[in-house]
Chain A
Amino acid sequence: MVDPANTPLGKMLLEEITPVVMVLCTPLVEESCLKNGLSFIQMLSPFSNFTNIDVPVRTASDQPYRLQKFKLRLFYASDIRQPNLEAAKKRLKEVITQAGEKDFSEMSSDPAEVRDLLSRPESEIIPTWFQFFNKELVRTLSFSDHEAFDHPVACLLVVSSKDEEPINRFVDLFNTNKLPSLLNDGAMDPKILKHYLLVHDNQDSDSEKATKLLTEMKNTFGPNDCQLLCINSSQDGQIHHQENPWAPFKSDALPSNNIGCFLNIDDLNEIKDLMQELSSKHIIPYMEQKIRILNQQVSATRKGFKNQIKNLWWRKGKEDALDSPDGPVYTFSSVESQIRILGDFAFMLRDYELALSNYRLISTDYKLDKAWKRYAGVQEMMGLTYFLLDQSRKEAEYCMENAFNTYIKLGPAGQQNAIRCGLWWVEMLKTRDQVKEAATVYFRICSEDPLHSAVMLEQASFCYLLSKPPMLHKYGFHLVLSGDHYKKCDQIKHAIRTYRNAVSVYKGTTWSLIKDHVYFHIGQWYAFLGMYDIAVSHMLEVLASSHQSKKTQELFLRDFLQTVQKSGKTFEVLKLQLPVINSSSIKVIFEDHRTYASAAAASVRERIWRSLEEDMVPSLSTARTNWLELQSKLIPKKYKESNICVAGEAIKVGIEFKNPLHIPISISSVSLICKLSPNPEERNSDENSSNLELPNEENETSTSSRYVCVVFVIYMHTNIFNSLNNYLCLYVYLACISACVNVVYARIFNFLQVQLTVTPMAEGILKIVGVKWKLSSSVVGFYNFESSSVNKKVAKGRRKAKHPPGDNLKFIVIKSLPKLEGRIHSLPEKTYTGDLRHLVLQLSNQSKVPVKNLKMKISNPRFLYAGNQRELNVEFPACLEKKTNAEQGGGHTNNNKMLQNLFVFPEDISVKEETSLSWPLWFRAAIPGNISLYITIYYEMEDVSNIMKYRTLRMHYNLQVLPSLDVSFELSPCPSRLQDFLLRMDVVNKTSSECFQVHQLSSVGRQWEISLLQPVNSILPSQSLFAGQALSCFFMLKDRRKSSTSEDSILSPSLLQSDVTLGRQGNNEALFDVSCSPLADFHSFERMQQGMSDQGVENKTDFIFISQLVKGNTDSGAPSTPLLFSHHACRCSLSRMSPVSWLIDGPQTIEHDFAASLCEVKLKMTISNSSDSVASVRVNTFDSPSNGIQSSDAAGTQTGVSSENQSGWFDIPAVNDMKVITTDALATRLAKSLSMESVSQFIWSGSSSTKVELQPRSTAEIPLQICVFAPGIYNLSNYTLNWNLISTKDEENQGEADKSSGVCQGYPYYLTLLQSS
């Protein structure tokens, strides 16, 4: 370790704890010195510090040592007193304020990074004024009564040779009345070494008189103690000292060139010699002597075992007498003070061993006396002595801590002392590289005085910074604490400085509250100083503090706006955080060859459109691969790679502003920043392309305003934070010259969607640079799209991501083109299932160029398809009505076209310039749900010279289709007649409020004849089906093919009753023709939907149920006409029925004489095959009833489904005379009960198994016979029919309804046999 004396603390101690010389001088002496701009003490001061005095010293021990460094402190007698605390504080404050001004002006604009800071040398990091401040602080404690090192060791009496009666003056000077009170009241020893000095001013006269006086003095005061000093030897006062020795002692700003101007080199040497002699010949020997004397005294009274016991005893006895809290008052003559003086003198003469032993001695005494301040003072000195001895470090620290704590315990009285002690302690720790501990001591020094605390805290923070490893968190924290204290004392510049240093710690962290606090206060303070620009820049950091409470956010915003206002400027901030722009929300919508009918269409994903347009538009890929293609020649490579837009057509930019705060903010003047520059290639190649003069590109900003016509459309959807009412505002603003338009004042609560539109009016290259807005009408925020476009998703990026994203905002503006605008009139947004309407598509062409070759594709033909031009002006429900003389034209369907969903307009159709085209469309709400309809219309320009040959118009509609009627059908065969079927129709009204009128049921196709079993009036008298109501109707369905020849049905279709009206019987409402467009078309779509070919199986039939809604809640274009609803049911079939049916024919009742013989009954079974295949049928009869039960059980499980419906079937008035409709379950039950009593009362005679083959659609008869042995009622159901279809055609794919084989349980057939009498 280095010599303790060379450490900062050692140097400080050697400077501060040195002998004090009291100076008493006459005013004339001062006068002479002031000629040089110096006081007497100032004149001597530079020469009272000796670095190489080389004086031998012998203190208590016999071993002498040599002293090299020595220093005297000179004080006027008037200054030998405890400094005024208030004055001292004021001075310290001045020091700080000055330092603040200086540091603030030197502060760099940007706070350094912490890492950079650490790489610098220590001296650069820590402000230099700390050292000075600390020294000043220590000096405020000089001449305290409990310490002896400030006691004057000697007294220098100075009289001028001009003084009258100099000898008397000398005597007068040391008059006790004028001496400092400390000497008089006994705290200091007034008996000190006196040295008499006569000052002679050479300017006044010769030195002769002075020499004479000196002799006189020597006679009076003794020859050794008198000296003469001649000054001001230079006559002209023009002496300039190369290195002005007084400069460090004259800090106050006097013109320094005057200092010492009358002192020539001789004078200086004389002063030097004087001080040297004073030190080495007088003061040091005097101190040596005093030490020796005191040491002897102390040894005599206090050393040795006897004295110690005595001392202890004496002090014990004295204890009770104490009453003063500070302990007893000690005069300089008391033993305790003598010991202390001895210690301090030894310390000043560097005999630290001696000093320490005395300090130790006195320390216990003071402790016993409870003289705490003195005790602390001694402990402090012990610590320092230990340090300088470089002995026990622990002891040193322990003493310092003890002293510090003792001072602190004293309360305000010890506060200043504690500070000094702390500062020394800190230095001690720093010397030993215990920087961290030093910081905690600094922290402990903090007193009530906030200004001192601030400085101490700042010093502590630097300690943390310099500790190894650096403790940056603590550094920042203490800087902030320090800043707060500075602020309390109105040292704003210091506060800013500390906070700005702290920023370097907190920058980049996510401790948001801390960051906000720091930035906000820096901003506030800068604003206080009137530096608004920098204040605003700091406050910007806290604007978007979403985590803060509402109150704090309000405060931040208010202060920010006030600051901006005070500055009187409009700030333009490149990255204003308020409001936040969600960069992923930026959407650019533009139209090249793809045009959109509505914003909704533009927001649909490109993939959907592409798949829709796939086979409609000329493929781009083929154009590229085949170089012969015309198109590849027409579109230069450049155009393919960047976005194309058309002059005069708007580009829409959707931006979402988000307010991160809890409070509303207001923004206005949202505008796009665009740049339109002439296309350089265009200019060279085609000079006629634009009539406007194209200015040079350098002049871009002005160019933009000349060429861009900006139309701003702003949609604001404001989502109010606390779920207040949402509202929608629409602002439209037109401007033709400026790109910045004053648009809107919006108070944003949560977020705001803005759509900005730019319309280029001339050809060239358009670039969308960014967006600009005004916050609270005072700060302009910019947002540059390009700089932050990494994540940006441009909605219509035509070619993938191989281009830099900035290109998405670059457009090549081409010559204006025709653009079709399309609209479907009265397409409902909300409707019920089955709604059938006639709509009109209107296409208008606003341009001067006609378009041709129109094609249309609709995504969902089940809902919408294009009609025939003839149908444009038809009256809607009426046109569907059945004509009496059937025109076949109505039945024309567009099946082939519809299969591809592509509708090609007739070739002669074109949309002429400035006209519009109307085209009929048929609409039917096929299924319930939210339905999206996509319609795309392709057209070509007549003007072939264009870059674009074709364009597409994309339309998108969303429908909400609600369920209306639920229609289901059930067919069952009629056992009595093989060609007849019973149809049950169930209709349930699923709506909540609508009332439907049933109108008509039609079967599709020609082969069915339909008739009501029962007039609807009896079930539904009003014909209206109210909400929630259900209706069941029964119809008879007759297969016409069987009953009549095929030629007949074709020849007279009008005779066919394939439709039945459900309306009032007398009402002759016209029936609708289901075989013509659009019902037939929609029906075929429905069939297609269900994956069915047109060739139906005979047993399956389709129905169309038509109802009407007179007054609906749906939004209809013409509310006066009733809405028509059609419900299509396809493939209603006898799916559960077997293709084989049969009847047993025979007598019902027979009278027979059983006594004579058994009775033979002949029966006939007629079997019908209704399928298209050959059926092989085997009839098994069996006599054992158990067999039958088993098989019937099996049959029951197979067809058990139908049992659910059995309840519905009982109330039907029996049209047929046989109850054929009983379910299998019932049959089983009957069979069981009957078989119990009539077991084997009859047997089947004849063969037990008969097999027949049935041709398709044919019948066969089988004879059956039974023998009955007793009278009774017999159920002849114990037989089964096993059928098997032998497929002639390959019809396996007909589905599971067409079972190829099956077993049928016999029907109950009751035979009554009576005994004939």
Chain B
Amino acid sequence: MATTACFIIVSRNDIPIYEAEVGSAAKREDAAQLHQFVLHAALDIVQDLAWTTSAMFLKAIDRFNDLVILLNPLYLPGSRIASSHFDTKVRALARKYL
């Protein structure tokens, strides 16, 4: 089955700093903002979880640890990640897990 996953890294203050759409389904023009809507809405849950249970949150971080390391220390909070290297890396990982 063709599925699409949208992967977004969100920094403080809900600023999306990286977006990637991965998956086998053909890209739909109109679906782009839908993904953003869904993910944006999910932030409420994430906020709740982050305060209540630390376990799940840590697990998610742990799994993509290598990605976190890639973030550079000179990163300006809120600016977008534009590195193409990072992009390809994410997509490769996505293929592995999906």
A residues contacting B by CB (< 8 A) are 464, 471-474, 476-478, 480, 509-511, 513-514, 516-517, 549, 551-552
Contact = CB atoms under 8 A, between A and B. Distances in A.
A509 B15 contact: yes
A517 B15 contact: no
A473 B78 contact: no
A551 B29 CA distance: 9
Contacts of A472: 44
B9 interface: no
Contacts of B43: 473
Contacts of B3: none
Interface in B64-98: 78
Contacts of A511: 14, 16, 36, 40
Interface of B: 14-16, 29, 32-33, 36-38, 40-44, 78
B40 A514 contact: yes
A513 B29 contact: no
Contacts of B16: 510-511
B30 to A, nearest CB: 9
A136 to B, nearest CB: 29
Nearest to A502: B37
Contact of B41 (A476, A513, A516): A476
A514 B16 CA distance: 12
B29 A473 contact: no
A464 B44 CA distance: 10
Given A514-B33, A514-B36, A552-B29, A477 B14 contact: no
B15 A477 contact: no
Given A477-B37, A514-B36, A516-B33, 14 more contacts: A464-B44, A473-B41, A473-B42, A473-B43, A474-B41, A509-B15, A510-B16, A510-B78, A513-B32, A514-B33, A514-B40, A517-B33, A549-B29, A552-B29
| Those 10 A-B pairs whose CB atoms lie nearest each other, nearest first | A477-B41, A513-B33, A471-B44, A517-B33, A473-B44, A513-B36, A473-B43, A473-B41, A514-B36, A474-B44
B15 A473 contact: no
A510 B9 CA distance: 13
A469 to B, nearest CB: 9
A964 to B, nearest CB: 44
Among B14, B36, B40, B43, the most chain A Cβ lie within 10 Å of the Cβ of B40
7 contacts: A471-B44, A476-B40, A478-B41, A509-B14, A510-B16, A517-B33, A552-B29
Contacts of B37: 477, 480, 514, 517
Contacts of A517: 33, 37
Contacts of A549: 29, 32
A237 B74 CA distance: 86
B6 to A, nearest CB: 11
A480 B33 CA distance: 11
Among B15, B29, B36, the most chain A Cβ lie within 10 Å of the Cβ of B36
Nearest to B39: A511
A104 B29 CA distance: 31
A298 to B, nearest CB: 48
A478 B42 CA distance: 12
Contacts of B14: 473, 509, 511
B50 to A, nearest CB: 13
A477 B38 contact: yes
Contacts of A478: 41
Contact of B15 (A464, A510, A514, A551): A510
Nearest to B14: A509
Nearest to A516: B33
B33 to A, nearest CB: 4
Contacts of B32: 513, 549
B77 to A, nearest CB: 12
A555 to B, nearest CB: 9
Contacts of A516: 33
Contacts of B33: 513-514, 516-517
Among B15, B36, B42, B44, the most chain A Cβ lie within 10 Å of the Cβ of B44
Among A476, A510, A552, the most chain B Cβ lie within 10 Å of the Cβ of A510
A473 B16 CA distance: 14
A919 B50 CA distance: 80
A71 B38 CA distance: 46
Contacts of B78: 510
B25 to A, nearest CB: 17
A16 to B, nearest CB: 34
Among B38, B42, B43, the most chain A Cβ lie within 10 Å of the Cβ of B43
Among B32, B38, B41, B42, the most chain A Cβ lie within 10 Å of the Cβ of B41
A473 B36 CA distance: 11
A476 B33 CA distance: 13
B32 to A, nearest CB: 5
Contacts of A509: 14-15, 40
Given A509-B14, A509-B15, A477 B40 contact: yes
